[in-house]
Structure 1
Amino acid sequence: MKTLIERSKTSKILFLISSLLIFTVLFSCGKAKDIYYCPMHPTYTSDRPGTCPICNMDLVKKEDHADHSSGSDHASHELNPNGSEFDSSPEANSNEDLSLSFEKQQSIGIKTDIAKVRNLTKQFRAYSNVAYDPELYTALTEYKESVRSSAALAEFGSGLNIRNLQLRLQQLGLSQEQIRVWTSGGRDPSELILGGKGGRAHIYSQIYESDLSFAKPGLSVIFKTDAYPDQEFKGKIKSVDTILDKNTRTLRLRSEVSDPSHLLKPQMFGEVLVQIQVPHVLSIPSSAILDTGTRKIVYTQIGPDKFRAIEIETGRIIDPWTEIKSGLKTEERVVTESTFLLDSEAKIRFGSKTHSH
């Protein structure tokens, strides 16, 4: 009898333990687990805090993207850091707006700036040398001789020869006006092989095709050489060659600088500095732009804790600024630092949809 009672008690205990275990399992399954991810490697996730095994960066808890609306029918207005109002009305919000707490923004180092019209200065330096150009000298002297004898040799078709020589000079970088100056006695072609005369020197520079839109005849230049480190030789761009070097992706820039003491000698090396004023340009810091290969994206801050991906069209790059042709308006605030981390967070929450604007 006693054995039966003990067995009954044991069965009851086992039943209670089994029920407790089943309840615990069911409760654990019903509770959503926290997910932690690496901001730099968002494909790595974990169910507990820790560090990324790839970059050793602290894992960040993935937050549910819930729409915490106030239930009010009227728009609320919040001030952004520059004193103007964020538009947080329902019409201004999107299902793909990214919410980040202030603490999280600080932890990943988000910084912002505004799109505004700026007066910018484009500056570039070009490897240069004092001209020594026997090829151009020969072409000029041949053209001068052909023009001089054209009247006497008209019946032999010298007119065609002159046109061919003109084409050759244009291929070597001279404009029609420069051809006229060099061959009418205004300039002596021997300067190209013996050095400048009349207090002038010719400078050849190599500029990259990315700077071609800025380099125009008439712009001021400053030539400096290690031979005379304390002196600046100022002048102007005279012409830009028409044929691009396919190997170096450069064009030759021809300038003329003042050299009253005839210090500059043929093939002397130096550097040309060109500065161009570019006024009234709608621009943002270049660091704000994410180039996906097919489009360019910026993240705008539309509220203290809300960000939105916007596709833009860019123009000229005037470091550290980039011209904005479309997609942004003045005074809109864009993320300029930790943009990649913000984009990674958006991809985790929304997938590739964040770049579909």
Structure 2
Amino acid sequence: MRRSKVILFTILILFIGGFAFTVSGCGKSQDKGKIGKARDVYYCPMHPTYTSDRPGDCPICNMKFVKKEAEREKPIKNDGHKGHEIAAQGAPAEEKTFEEVCIEHSCTMNNCPMLVRATIKPGERVLCPVCGEVISTTSGKVVEIGKKPAAGPTGPTVMISPEKQQLIGVTTGPVGRRELEKTIRASGRIAYDPELVVTQEEFIQAINNEEKIKDSPLQYVIDRAKSLTSAARQKLRLLGMSEEQILSLEKTRKSETTLYLPGKGESVWAYISIYEYEIGLISIGQPVEIEAVAYPRDVFKGTVMAINPVLDPMTRTNQARVEVKNEENKLKPEMFVKARIKISLGEKLAVPETAILDTGIRKIVYVSRENGMLESRDIKTGLKVDGYYEVLEGLDEGDIVVTSGNFLIDSESRLKSAAAGEAGHKQHGQ
């Protein structure tokens, strides 16, 4: 009898324990279901930082809210030894380094500890201080210490599915090297400059006078003659003549009469105005094409002979003197002309103008990666030529950049940055 009671009591305990375990398991699965179900978020396409939990209109611009699609989660693998393997395959005798980011906690807020960057050396394991995961390589590229690393993201990374990219009209193109040739266009006039002719005559007379009295016993007379020559030479420089032209004038002792009355078949001078930001591209000896309003079908050939050393503070332009062939005596003093100067910049790394978002302070491009990942990069550009910008910093040859749809991607990036910032503040506040 006692043995039957013990068996019955044991069965009862096992039944109660199994029932309690089943109930607790169901409760956890229900809790997980509740946690996994995220509420819908709506945002304004023009003001992505303004979000709502229900459809409606933006109170700022009255545009309809758009539902934010849920992001596809990308699993983070613990590749603690992956960095060591890549380093070992490279050159084990030399020290290698990886520039890494923990993808799971890439916070875009300034000074937020959730943005993790680490330098991993061979055999070293670095843990993310936020999630505790081993920071793994994101690109698999080995960068030697002391060498310039490849360009990387300088802003938030946004994930947009390839389907959505196609829907909003995103197109991409590679960054490559191409021959750049810039054409500088300037306006000007055919020279009528009696003042310069008079100054040239004064300079010639000063030189002749200095030579005549060089054997004078009176030193102050010699010094006075030299000072007059020096003053006339300086005035020619201020009027825009180059040192080569002054030396030529000193040798020939013949002033340029074409500056006020060009003879038949003689060359004339044209004064063209170059904008301040283009002055660095102009040099003496460059060929120039001149067009006159009076002769629209004719193109006159010229050469840059001198560049004025003083900038015009009112127009922010610099004057270049061009010697123009005038064989048929068509060009007359004070005629308005247009000038073209073609300058070859050589082979440069270039990116399409449409790929750049210019904020006025920064120039941003989005680089396309695998699985719909788009990296924000700050770049430094040089000259703009025929729809392309010269790239000085921020991109490497072969990078795939977004060439259209940048504004929508930037809007999505700002939205996700704002959402991440809001979530980060909530976590810090808990």
Tell me which interval the TM-score lies in, with the shorter structure as reference length: 0.7 to 0.9
Q: Which of these residues, 159, 177, 187, is aligned with residue 117 of structure 1?
A: 177
Amino acid at match of 2:67: K
The 2-side partners of 1:130 and 1:101 are apart by: 61
**Unaligned regions of 5+ residues in structure 2, if any?**
1-32, 83-102, 104-135, 141-152, 215-219, 422-430
Amino acid at match of 2:202: E
Deviation of the 1:338 alpha carbon:
2.8
Q: TM-score, normalised by structure 2?
A: 0.65
Deviation of the 1:28 alpha carbon:
10
The 2-side partners of 1:208 and 1:262 are apart by: 29
Distance 1:37 1:146, change over 3 A: same
RMSD between superposed Cα atoms in Å: 3.3
Identity %: 37
Deviation of the 1:216 alpha carbon:
1.4
Distance 1:276 1:30, change over 3 A: closer
SS of aligned partner of 1:194: coil
Distance 1:153 1:33, change over 3 A: farther
Q: Which of these residues, 70, 91, 97, is aligned with residue 138 of structure 2?
A: 91
Give CA-to-partner distance per residue, 1:157-216, whole Å, 9 cap, x none. 221222222222212221110112234338642211113664312111111111112221
Q: Which of these residues, 217, 221, 225, is aligned with residue 292 of structure 2?
A: 225
Give CA-to-partner distance per residue, 1:254-275, whole Å, 9 cap, x none. 1112111111000001200111
The 2-side partners of 1:214 and 1:247 are apart by: 21
The 2-side partners of 1:331 and 1:67 are apart by: 28
* 8 A contact 2:159–2:374 mirrored in 1: yes
SS of aligned partner of 2:297: coil
**2:335 matches 1:251:** no
The 2-side partners of 1:172 and 1:112 are apart by: 52
* 8 A contact 2:353–2:388 mirrored in 1: yes
**Unaligned regions of 5+ residues in structure 1, if any?**
1-26, 75-87
The 1-side partners of 2:416 and 2:302 are apart by: 57
The 2-side partners of 1:351 and 1:197 are apart by: 73
Query: Which residue of structure 2 aligns with residue 343 of structure 1?
Result: 410
The 1-side partners of 2:48 and 2:251 are apart by: 70
| Greater Cα offset, 308-317 or 88-97 | 88-97
Q: TM-score, normalised by structure 1?
A: 0.77
Distance 1:186 1:153, change over 3 A: closer
| Greater Cα offset, 144-153 or 324-333 | 144-153
Q: Which of these residues, 174, 193, 210, is aligned with residue 241 of structure 2?
A: 174
Distance 1:249 1:216, change over 3 A: same
Rg bigger for which structure?
2
* 8 A contact 1:140–1:183 mirrored in 2: no
Higher relative contact order, chain-length normalized (CA < 8 Å, sep 6+)? 1
SS of aligned partner of 1:139: helix
Give CA-to-partner distance per residue, 1:280-328, whole Å, 9 cap, x none. 1111113322344554322111125111012222222223111112221
Q: Which of these residues, 15, 22, 36, is aligned with residue 42 of structure 2?
A: 36
* 8 A contact 2:259–2:268 mirrored in 1: no
* 8 A contact 2:204–2:253 mirrored in 1: no
**2:317 matches 1:311:** no
The 2-side partners of 1:230 and 1:96 are apart by: 54
Query: Which residue of structure 1 aligns with residue 367 of structure 2?
Result: 300
Q: Which of these residues, 170, 189, 193, is aligned with residue 129 of structure 1?
A: 189
The 2-side partners of 1:240 and 1:352 are apart by: 56
Give CA-to-partner distance per residue, 1:25-61, whole Å, 9 cap, x none. xx99996432222333324444445665766766433
* 8 A contact 1:226–1:270 mirrored in 2: yes
Query: Which residue of structure 2 aligns with residue 210 of structure 1?
Result: 277
Equivalence map 1:41-120=2 (5 Å): 41-49=47-55, 59-65=65-71, 67-69=73-75, 91-92=138-139, 96-120=156-180
* 8 A contact 2:42–2:54 mirrored in 1: yes
**2:349 matches 1:289:** no
The 2-side partners of 1:352 and 1:329 are apart by: 31
Query: Which residue of structure 2 aligns with residue 3 of structure 1?
Result: none
SS of aligned partner of 1:246: coil
The 2-side partners of 1:325 and 1:165 are apart by: 44
The 1-side partners of 2:373 and 2:263 are apart by: 63
| Greater Cα offset, 44-53 or 218-227 | 44-53
SS of aligned partner of 1:229: strand
Query: Which residue of structure 1 aligns with residue 124 of structure 2?
Result: none
Query: Which residue of structure 2 aligns with residue 195 of structure 1?
Result: 262
**2:197 matches 1:150:** no
Deviation of the 1:110 alpha carbon:
2.2
Give CA-to-partner distance per residue, 1:51-78, whole Å, 9 cap, x none. 657667664332445542386979xxxx
Distance 1:33 1:349, change over 3 A: same
SS of aligned partner of 2:75: coil
SS of aligned partner of 1:92: coil
Distance 1:134 1:182, change over 3 A: same
SS of aligned partner of 2:277: helix
* 8 A contact 2:367–2:402 mirrored in 1: yes
Distance 1:151 1:186, change over 3 A: closer
**Count of matched residue pairs:** 316
Distance 1:116 1:51, change over 3 A: farther
Amino acid at match of 1:212: I
* 8 A contact 1:120–1:278 mirrored in 2: yes
Q: Which of these residues, 337, 345, 348, is aligned with residue 278 of structure 1?
A: 345
SS of aligned partner of 2:47: coil
